[in-house]
Copies of this chain bind each other. A is one copy, B any other.
Amino acid sequence: MLKLKSVAIDTYKENVAYLHRDCPLYRSEGFQALMKIEIFIEGNGDPVLAILNIVDDTSIVKVDEIGLSEQAFQQLGKSEGVSTYIEPAEPPLSLKAVHRKISGEKLSREDFQMITRDILQNRYSKMEIAAFLVSSSHTGLDRDEIYYLTEAMANTGEKLTWGEPMVVDKHCIGGIPGNRTSMLIVPIVAAYGLLIPKTSSRAITSPAGTADTMEVLANVEIPIEEMKKIVKKERGMLTWGGTAHLSPVDDILISVERPLAMDSVGQMVASILSKKIAAGSSHLLLDIPIGPSAKIHQMHDAIKLKKIFEFVGDKLGLYIEVLITDGSQPIGNGIGPVLEARDVMQILNNDAEAPQDLKEKALQLAGRILEFDPKMRGGKGYETACEILHSGKALAKMQAIIKAQGAHHYQLKSDALIFEVKADKTGTVSQIDNLQMANIASLAGAPIDKFAGVDLIHKVGAKVKEGDTLYKIYATFQSDFEFARNLAVRDCGYQIASVI
């Protein structure tokens, strides 16, 4: 028996256990570094799984102790000093299914249920998750398999219920910087009266997610009971989905997809739809932007993806409408939480300086969502959305939602480090690279530094003279500033076509 100890090391979504090299169990019983072990407490139900590290310092763990990293200790939920015993973990049974997938076989509904259950119970190491992701990427999953995976993932966590038959939602597959339409759509749709309890993610690889940007204006980490009160009163909300523990397996998969830069169709569909189903949505408007630097480059790929979303949505009782949109450049001017929040508030305020592309796109999408309402006449959604925005009803609704969630007070920093990227010739802006602009804004510190990012002055089609400012980089920290500036100097992300 070993005494439990909490080791104050944060290992994020990977449990680590610490055993002293002189512990009698080490080697004599075959425990070795990087092995997966199970930590049991008598009468405590399920063991906790962790990767083993070997310690040579008794100030970290003594020879009769087993240390657990912070998350693993929390999971076990016991106090220090209680007696534990450890065993080498059996490899998860569902790994056999992963090996069958690697060999090119089609997996069954039960296979995906077992895989997601084992991942949820922490039985998969990061390597094993990587193996699953790679085996199911590219041509790896057919649409039945995507349906099984989505269903299994949706069933792993909490499920929200809203007590109404129609719960509308909106999602974009991502990849376009700016593009903060949800923060306009929610107040418009909620002001109209449809129920739109929108949960969003924080940035995964991008310079800002909707949750990061909304957090500039209001608290987004809201307990579920509180969410229900807000939505009952306001018909809408803009909160972070993480609090709700929806599709927790998705969060674990993302923690491996992100460093691997994996973004396969099957995983994308399962990730998005499992979260929507767990969030209790009945109607979803899905935005698929296409463009040379968007996630989807070609119309035929967008249409293929659209059909997969529709197939899986129909199977799982979620009505999906897909809109294929222009993803050839960033939408709006700001890239980064504070700059994007500024764009959104300019539009809600009907400010003349507001970015027209973001406004127009949000109105189009909101209009389509309003037409989910059987009472809305076909083709009239857009007009209604315009009326709600221009009348100030959308602004009032946004202010009410902000107040309900708890307002934050931010403003653009006066002492920010600013670098202006200039046109190197006279002509017309012909292209803006989404990925490059996202990289520059990320290096500048977004989204962790909420003030950091990029502010676009000229967009595609603008006529510029040599020396005109194309965009400004904002940063708070000198090192971030230099990383971002150096990248922009190497490749500014803009192409300018000479006037002929």
- Which A residues fall within an 8 A CB radius of B? 7-14, 16, 18, 21, 27-30, 32-36, 53-57, 59-60, 69-70, 91, 95, 99, 102-104, 125-131, 133-135, 137-139, 255-256, 259-262, 445, 448-449, 477, 479-480
Given contacts A9-B55, A10-B56, A29-B477, 5 further A-B contacts (CB under 8 A): A12-B34, A34-B259, A36-B259, A102-B138, A128-B130
CB neighbours of A13 from chain B (8 A): 34
CA distance A130 to B153 in the complex (A): 23
A-B contact pairs, 8 of them (CB 8 A): A7-B57, A56-B70, A95-B261, A102-B134, A126-B127, A127-B130, A128-B130, A134-B134
B14 touches A10 (CB 8 A): no
Cα separation A35 to B10 with both chains bound (whole Å): 12
Distance between Cα atoms of A36 and B12 in the complex (Å)? 13
Min distance, Cβ A446 to any Cβ of chain B, angstroms? 9
User: Which residues of chain B have C-beta atoms less than 8 A from A29's C-beta?
Assistant: 445, 477, 479-480
Contact A8 B57 (CB under 8 A): yes
Please report the C-alpha to C-alpha distance between residue A411 and residue B55 in the assembled complex, in whole angstroms.
32
CB distance from A218 to the nearest CB of B (A): 21
Nearest Cβ on chain B to A173's Cβ, whole angstroms:
19
Tell me how far the C-beta of A439 lies from the nearest C-beta in chain B, rounded to whole angstroms.
Answer: 12
Which of A8, A32, A91, A445 has the largest number of chain B CB atoms within 10 A?
A8
Copies in the complex: 2
Which chain B positions have C-beta within 8 A of A70? 56
A238 to B76, CA, bound (A): 47
In the complex, chain B residues whose CB is within 8 Å of the CB of A128 = 130, 259-260
B138 and A10 contacting across the interface, CB-CB below 8 Å: no
Residue of B nearest to A443 (CB): B30
In the assembled complex, the Cα of A32 lies from the Cα of B445 at a distance in Å of: 13
Are B261 and A138 in contact, with the CB atoms below 8 A?
Answer: no
By the criterion CB–CB under 8 Å, are B131 and A262 in contact? yes
For A34, what are the chain B residues with a Cβ–Cβ distance below 8 Å? 11-14, 255, 259
Residues of B within 8 A of A11 (CB): 33-34, 53
| Chain B, Cβ-Cβ closest to A99 | B261
Min C-beta distance of A141 to chain B, whole Å: 13
In the bound complex, residues from chain B placing their C-beta under 8 Å from that of A445 are: 29-30
> Judging by beta carbons under 8 Å apart, are B10 and A127 in contact?
no
Q: Distance (Å) between the CB of A325 and the closest chain B CB? A: 26
User: In the bound complex, how far is the Cα of B16 from the Cα of A16, in angstroms?
Assistant: 12
User: Would you give the shortest CB distance from A1 to chain B, in whole angstroms?
Assistant: 12
Closest Cβ of chain B to A476, distance in Å, is 8
In the bound assembly, the distance between CA atoms of A99 and B257 in angstroms comes to: 12
Measured between beta carbons, the chain B residues less than 8 angstroms from A102 are 134, 137-138, 262
Instruction: Say how far A447's CB is from chain B's closest CB, in angstroms.
Output: 10
A8 engages B56 (CB within 8 Å)? yes
Interchain CA distance A465-B417 in the complex, whole Å:
87
How far is it, in angstroms, between the C-alpha of A57 and the C-alpha of B67 when the chains are bound? 14
With contacts A29-B480, A480-B30 known, is A9 near B60, CB below 8 A? yes
Bound CA–CA A104/B36 (angstroms):
32
Once bound together, how far apart are the Cα atoms of A456 and B27, in whole Å? 26
Are B130's CB and A448's CB within 8 A?
no
How far is the CB of A15 from the nearest CB of chain B, in Å? 12
Q: Is the CB of B10 within 8 A of A33?
A: yes
Please state if A12 and B33 are interface contacts (CB–CB under 8 Å): yes
B57 touches A127 (CB 8 A): no
Q: Is the CB of B9 within 8 A of A18?
A: yes
A53 touches B9 (CB 8 A): yes
A480 CB contacts on chain B under 8 angstroms: 29-30
Contact A256 to B477, CB < 8 A, known contacts A21-B10, A104-B139, A134-B135: no
CB-based closest 7 A-B pairs? A8-B57, A8-B56, A130-B130, A12-B33, A10-B54, A127-B130, A134-B134
A259 touches B125 (CB 8 A): yes
The reply to whether A10 and B55 form a contact with Cβ atoms under 8 Å apart is: yes
- Whole-angstrom CA separation of A54 from B12 in the bound complex: 9
